[in-house]
Amino acid sequence: MDDSDILQHLLEIEEKAAVLVDDAQAEADRRIKESEEQNRIIFDEAYQKITAGLEAEYVHSVDAAKNEYNKILDEYKAGMDCMAKQNEVFSALAFSLLVEEKN
């Protein structure tokens, strides 16, 4: 085998190696893309579960706060309705504060 045959053989090996590297890179890119797609699906499902749980918890706490507010308001209204109205006393006090003090 002379030098030109050896050189030609080495060039053929280098060309085959370059093809192998290109194929390996394409396979690695394909696997990475596939893995990213699978991970995105897993992430989206987990994110949806977490946000759905948080949304339900938020709605529940808002409803509980509204119910508590309405309960307190109803109790206050009931307490106000039970109080005896003293219109004469109120009118006398208002009169004394507004009219009599100016004199």
Could you read off the pLDDT tens digit of each residue along the chain, which spans 103 residues?
787 888 999 999 999 999 999 999 999 999 999 999 999 999 999 999 999 999 999 999 999 999 999 999 999 998 888 877 788 888 888 888 888 765 5
Where exactly are the structural domains of the chain?
Answer: 3-102
> What local confidence, expressed as pLDDT, does residue 102 receive?
58
| Exposure string over 35-72, b if 16+ CB within 10 A, otherwise e | eeeeeeeeeeeeeeeeeeeeeeeeeeeeeeeeeeeeee
> What local confidence, expressed as pLDDT, does residue 101 receive?
60
